[in-house]
A and B are shown apart, each in its own frame.
Chain A
């Protein structure tokens, strides 16, 4: 008789017994002491049971599926490494995208692991708690498979050897670090909007296309494999992010303005970070997948508008960043690559001037802007380099207090004018790259005055190794910073043209293709 009763248990009911039914309201310790973090942001939750589980996965099934994925993934990585798969990439320039990737992304995944562990501890309802923990362990998977996939490249190419230390020190990596530190230090609901929704749900395709499709286009089986393997995890994460937004909006009308402000903030911050992705797509991948503008239009403007139309019934309007990005999509990748090109002495990847053929591709993809604003600059720098005057900017740039990108973006109505914004707070002067970043600061000044800005830290003497004497008469600031970053001058940095990577790759490929 009992066995029959069993069979009647539906999937949903069974999953509820496996998760929600495990929890109880504590009475020996007050609930708000056990779960102290979910009220201070102002989000009102009346009934945690209204949470709809975005996926129903018990641990036994999780172990089984994930182990199968891991088996396949590591078999491919091993084969790729054993067969010198790195020589199969389109061009050694491609590896610079991998260098940027290992500099920034495993660290982001790591912060997501710890951040979702925190949410997995703090969320009151069992539904969201379990979903967050599943995401925490997935994120742990992602940073590890990324390191394992890229480890072999590090053996043969420069610029990746000290990613673990560089992630907290290097000037351009503070952009990504500040993004995740910002999300991590926010309340749990804001973290969900920042990472679960804006990053995982809305922007994820824009990350996937250049990194993973880019890897596939350019012969990087290792990166392609972990990327595709991660996609089925991401599908779960996306449903979690969206569910959390709907849950908040359905629980109380007072949540709407808070959620809207977070969406504005995190879509703005996300779009700022994605500029770097645009630069990779337009300049760094030897074989292009699509232009940044095309990707933005397809994945943000079209997919995004469908999503925001869907959320309109809750009173949500599309994030403010849409208007800025509508202008910037034709400019941002060119401006960023020009920025990195100038500061190419202080990067752990190589920079270069696009080839004539590549410039023609850029002209065709950016008919309104490339020839008019950007080609002349590249032609000028090309001529300079030919004369032996490859341009390296040795001054410290002014950074945006919020997104930490150097002030290099232009005014929405004038692509020849750098966009500057500023404000006063408690007698100090702060600078921003855009209205969006300024608004974010002004809403939470006490948070953003804490920003660890690399350029400021260098000037304050905080980015040198112990024992460095900045008052010495022959003191070389850039050299001292370089030492602190543990970058190897002439190997990790400077132009791709003439680099050790370029020479080695050519020699190794020749050895493989000739007798």
Chain B
């Protein structure tokens, strides 16, 4: 066939897109790759058997959450991530991260870093790899058990991202040249008094049964309080004292938080706008998890910020409340 120039033939297509997308777009129009990859792919009817591990539910079952949506595909990802665009976006971020790690290592910047900053960095950031691991577990549950693919798909992306974050934090520890620091940090996570409220909270979240509540607790609340604390306030404090070393090695996390937040905000906002019942429930959950998380973060904020921790935490919670209210939640 290579001898024929097929390009020159002009053919009128019989149709522009698949029926399920035409229905959503209100007409037969070309669909984007995000739409093709996302909508109506999860089966919704005629399930063959019930899960032997959860016989009270159908294979995909909207009643896994008390949140009710007329159409679960109202939840969309404003980044329009499907696998291809997702991996391209993350590959760009990892290119930067790689260059940063390389720069720091090749210039021997660790040797120039002040000892007190190094100690704070190791004490504060390294146990957070376990927090990211818990986030990975929680988002794998959202990806597995939520209803509708436009929700499941970004949840899996966030799940993998948190694994990546746990690994970048691990690299931070290794880059500081000290695998013992990882071991001490794990010991602190398991036994250190400053970390136990946070560990209890993450473990409690792992057994939350309502899948939307779990999504909300993890992605809006936990990340929404932890990331500004860790990757703005503590990072800034270290930069002031010792230069931007840690900023460079945690750039992925800062960028990721802004990026993932677009999806989280859109999802919460849409679910809240759906009904008064949803809104009330989301607000209740947000307040419950916010108060627990804010309390759990206090002792570790103090680890890094000393007597400024109290003020910083107030600011973090205030900013979080502003964000939640913008999403329509009366908190």
Residues of A within 8 A of B (CB): 1-3, 5-6, 9, 14, 17-18, 21-24, 26-29, 33-34, 36-37, 40, 58-60, 62-64, 66-68, 70-71, 73-74, 82-85, 87-88, 106-107, 110-111, 113-114, 117-118, 120-122, 126, 129-130, 133, 136-137, 140-141, 143-145, 147-148, 151, 154-158, 160-165, 167-169, 174, 177-178, 181-182, 184-188, 219, 447-448, 450-452, 457, 486, 504, 508, 511-513
| A121 near B140: Cβ-Cβ < 8 Å | yes
Chain A nearest CB from B271 CB (Å) reads: 21
Does B37 interact with chain A (Cβ within 8 Å)? yes
Q: Which chain B residue has the least Cβ–Cβ distance from A102? A: B18
Q: List 15 A–B pairs whose Cβ atoms lie within 8 Å, in order of A's numbering.
A: A2-B177, A22-B133, A29-B204, A34-B207, A59-B90, A64-B95, A85-B6, A117-B144, A122-B53, A151-B36, A155-B13, A164-B39, A164-B40, A174-B46, A450-B48
> Of A83, A88, A167, which one neighbours B43 at CB under 8 angstroms?
A167
Does B11 interact with chain A (Cβ within 8 Å)? yes
Assuming the A-B contacts A88-B6, A133-B163, are A508 and B18 also in contact, with contact meaning beta carbons closer than 8 angstroms in the complex? Answer: no
- Most chain-A Cβ atoms within 10 A of its Cβ — which of B41, B50, B176, B203? B41
| A14 near B174: Cβ-Cβ < 8 Å | yes
Does B4 interact with chain A (Cβ within 8 Å)? yes
Q: Which chain A residue has the least Cβ–Cβ distance from B16? A: A155
| A184 near B170: Cβ-Cβ < 8 Å | no
| A486 near B203: Cβ-Cβ < 8 Å | no
Chain B nearest CB from A63 CB (Å) reads: 4
| A141 near B129: Cβ-Cβ < 8 Å | no
| B144 near A59: Cβ-Cβ < 8 Å | no
Q: Which chain B residue has the least Cβ–Cβ distance from A178? A: B48
Q: Which chain A residue has the least Cβ–Cβ distance from B105? A: A3
Does B63 interact with chain A (Cβ within 8 Å)? no
| Cα distance, A215 to B254, chains bound together (Å) | 44
| A512 near B179: Cβ-Cβ < 8 Å | no
A-B contact count (CB 8 A): 274
Chain A nearest CB from B247 CB (Å) reads: 18
| Cα distance, A511 to B7, chains bound together (Å) | 11
Residues of B within 8 A of A136 (CB): 140, 143, 156
Does B190 interact with chain A (Cβ within 8 Å)? yes
Q: Which of B195-229 contact A (CB under 8 A)?
A: 199-200, 203-204, 206-207
Q: Which of B141-181 contact A (CB under 8 A)?
A: 141, 143-145, 149, 152-153, 156-157, 159-161, 163-164, 166-168, 170-171, 174-179
Assuming the A-B contacts A28-B199, A84-B11, A143-B41, are A121 and B50 also in contact, with contact meaning beta carbons closer than 8 angstroms in the complex? Answer: no
Of B81-89, B233-241, B272-280, the one touching chain A: B81-89
| B45 near A168: Cβ-Cβ < 8 Å | yes
Chain A nearest CB from B330 CB (Å) reads: 30
Does B25 interact with chain A (Cβ within 8 Å)? no
Does B182 interact with chain A (Cβ within 8 Å)? yes
| B167 near A168: Cβ-Cβ < 8 Å | no
Does B269 interact with chain A (Cβ within 8 Å)? no
| A66 near B1: Cβ-Cβ < 8 Å | no
| Cα distance, A451 to B189, chains bound together (Å) | 48
Does B17 interact with chain A (Cβ within 8 Å)? yes
Assuming the A-B contacts A110-B41, A133-B163, are A60 and B97 also in contact, with contact meaning beta carbons closer than 8 angstroms in the complex? Answer: yes
Assuming the A-B contacts A29-B207, A60-B167, A181-B59, are A162 and B177 also in contact, with contact meaning beta carbons closer than 8 angstroms in the complex? Answer: no
Interface SS majority for chain B: helix
| Cα distance, A511 to B15, chains bound together (Å) | 20
Assuming the A-B contacts A59-B167, A144-B84, are A23 and B156 also in contact, with contact meaning beta carbons closer than 8 angstroms in the complex? Answer: no
Q: Which chain B residue has the least Cβ–Cβ distance from A141? A: B83
| B4 near A512: Cβ-Cβ < 8 Å | yes
Chain B nearest CB from A328 CB (Å) reads: 24
Q: Which chain B residue has the least Cβ–Cβ distance from A463? A: B46
| A24 near B14: Cβ-Cβ < 8 Å | no
| B206 near A26: Cβ-Cβ < 8 Å | yes
> Of B15, B41, B91, which one neighbours A64 at CB under 8 angstroms?
B91
Residues of B within 8 A of A143 (CB): 41
Q: Which chain B residue has the least Cβ–Cβ distance from A163? A: B18
- Most chain-A Cβ atoms within 10 A of its Cβ — which of B20, B93, B129? B20
Assuming the A-B contacts A28-B203, A451-B49, are A17 and B170 also in contact, with contact meaning beta carbons closer than 8 angstroms in the complex? Answer: yes
Give 4 new A-B contacts, CB below 8 A, not counting A1-B177, A59-B163, A187-B53. A29-B206, A84-B7, A177-B43, A452-B46
| B6 near A84: Cβ-Cβ < 8 Å | yes
| B46 near A137: Cβ-Cβ < 8 Å | no
Assuming the A-B contacts A22-B129, A24-B189, are A157 and B14 also in contact, with contact meaning beta carbons closer than 8 angstroms in the complex? Answer: yes
| Cα distance, A352 to B78, chains bound together (Å) | 46
| A34 near B206: Cβ-Cβ < 8 Å | yes
Assuming the A-B contacts A9-B179, A143-B41, are A133 and B36 also in contact, with contact meaning beta carbons closer than 8 angstroms in the complex? Answer: no
Q: Which of B296-330 contact A (CB under 8 A)?
A: none
Residues of B within 8 A of A82 (CB): 7
Residues of A within 8 A of B157 (CB): 137
Residues of B within 8 A of A137 (CB): 83, 156-157, 160
Chain B nearest CB from A155 CB (Å) reads: 4
> Of A73, A141, A174, A184, which one neighbours B59 at CB under 8 angstroms?
A184
